[in-house]
Amino acid sequence: MTTTAHGTAALLSIGDELTLGQTLDTNSKWIASALADLGIVTVEHVTVPDDLEAHAGTLRRLASKVDLIVSTGGLGPTADDLTRQALAEAVGEALVEDPVSMAQVRAWFTGRGREMPAINAVQALRPASAVALQNLHGTAPGLMASIGSCEVFCLPGPPGEARPMWSSCVVPRLRPPPGRTVRTRVLHTFGIGESDLATRLGGLMARDRSPLLGTTASGGVVSCRLRYEGPLSREEADALMETAAREVRARAGEFVFGEGDVTLPDAVLGLAQAAGQTVGVVESCTGGMLGQMLTDPAGASTVFMGGLVTYSNGMKTALAGVEAAILAEGGPGAVSEEAAAAMARGGLARLGVDHCLAVTGIAGPGGGSAGKPVGTVWIALASRGRDVDARRFRMSGARGAVRDWACKAALAMLRQRLAGVGPVKLLRQEHP
């Protein structure tokens, strides 16, 4: 094993299903993020097919360029799993059976009352000088080897197996460079467009500034990414980052809902929890997505009590008490200020919560009209002792994007109320 520091890293994902677009690679994101937190900079992600030559060739190319390679995939038991062979070829060694791995693979099956299928035996193979990494959540052991001065860690593809192996077997063996500090911070906004945010940030985004500030838009969330890389101590770098983060908040604070891993639901739940208040939902076009988002964080149960999914008009009346006249021919209809407000008020009363969000809209692709085109969404927020806050939005994009953005806009409305800012007009809000 080499002993140089791991200054730069490359990630390699393996599989025809990835290169051909049948499966989404989610491993590279969290591995790169974890490396950055340790001060190791990922300079390239590569995905190659289940092809021995391409796989081994890419390992060799990356090994000549970076100090560390982390690969995922290709360790399964089937004939298209070629990571063991590719690593052996890149290292220049033959494959040997690892007796400990063999015992572990076998034990994984016997512990579940099953016999090991014969094909799983190949999972115990490793290049002669490589070290096997134990997998406690599946049958595929990982591998660690050196190609020249570059260290390579090979993890299984399923995130449920790769993540625990990462924590227990890889992190303890990493050697971040001692003389360099890397710090990143991300502030998340919702409700402002990327150009408008960049205009507000102005000179803070100059490419010669330190920390470097960039923006990224993803599903309506526009994030401000701060990044320091240089000789300062961690404490000095953190102080510099803090000053920059304060500048960002000073210029766009009313739209900033959180930092780092904090999501919009986290922000809303945190504020409601601090205030000792409860939340419920009444959903039509989102079909349960808003409730799902609000229960995504652990511990949601102190705030989120429940909800009504009133997908059909009949359910809007039966479950939420929306007056039939609102929904009847000639009335304002299911996608209207009246319907949204009635859903929110009905939910507030029937769920017995402090705040109730209601969403009704036309997610598409069908169902639009001249007066109410696809993407039209009414969102209402009813809170005890307060006027209902009802807003009309015009979302763009496909069905999934309309639903996702609608849920986030609803959460942003509740966040404004809980945080005591606003009502601030949100991007895509048309009325009032």
- Contacts to its own copies from residues 123-152, by CB under 8 A: 137, 139
- Per DSSP, what are the bridge partners of residue 283? 309, 359
By CB under 8 A, is residue 259 in contact with its own copies?
no
Choose, by CB under 8 A, the member of 3, 111, 113, 160 that binds its own copies.
160
Stretch that binds its own copies, among 12-20, 85-93, 232-240, 381-389 (CB under 8 A): 12-20
**Among 400, 322, 406, 318, residue whose Cα is nearest residue 361:** 406
Residues 45-104 that bind its own copies (CB under 8 A): 45-50, 54, 58, 76-80
**Is residue 42 a contact point for its own copies (CB under 8 A)?**
yes
Name 423's Cβ contacts closer than 8 Å, sequence gap at least 6. 389, 391, 413, 416, 417
Closest CA to 393 of 339, 341, 337: 337
**Can you tell me which of 43, 275, 349, 424 binds its own copies, judged by CB under 8 A?**
43
Is residue 364 involved in binding its own copies (CB under 8 A)? yes
The span of 95-103, 143-151, 267-275, 362-370 binding its own copies (CB under 8 A) equals: 362-370
Stretch 190-249 residues interacting with its own copies (CB under 8 A): 194-196, 198-199, 205-207, 212, 214-218, 223, 225, 227
Token look-up 């096997």 returns 132
d(CA 326, CA 230): 62
Return the residue of 152, 165, 241, 294 that touches its own copies, per CB under 8 A: 294
Place of tokens 């599989």: 15
CB neighbour list of residue 222: distance below 8 Å, 6 or more residues apart: 188, 189, 190, 192, 193, 194, 197, 215, 216
Selected from 5, 17, 180, 262, the binder of its own copies by CB under 8 A is 17
Site of tokens 């890397």:
182
Alpha carbons 310 and 358: distance in angstroms, whole number: 10
- Asked if 20 interacts with its own copies (CB under 8 A), we say yes
Q: Does 38 bind its own copies (CB under 8 A)?
A: no
Q: From the list 99, 148, 288, 373, which residue makes contact with its own copies (rule: CB under 8 A)?
A: 288
Among positions 3, 22, 113, 330, the unique one binding its own copies when judged by CB under 8 A: 22
What CA–CA distance (Å, rounded) separates 84 from 79?
11
Question: Of 262-281, which residues contact its own copies (CB under 8 A)?
Answer: 281
Q: Closest approach of Cβ 15 to its own copies, in Å?
A: 7
Spatial distance between the Cα atoms of 111 and 241, rounded to a whole number of angstroms: 49
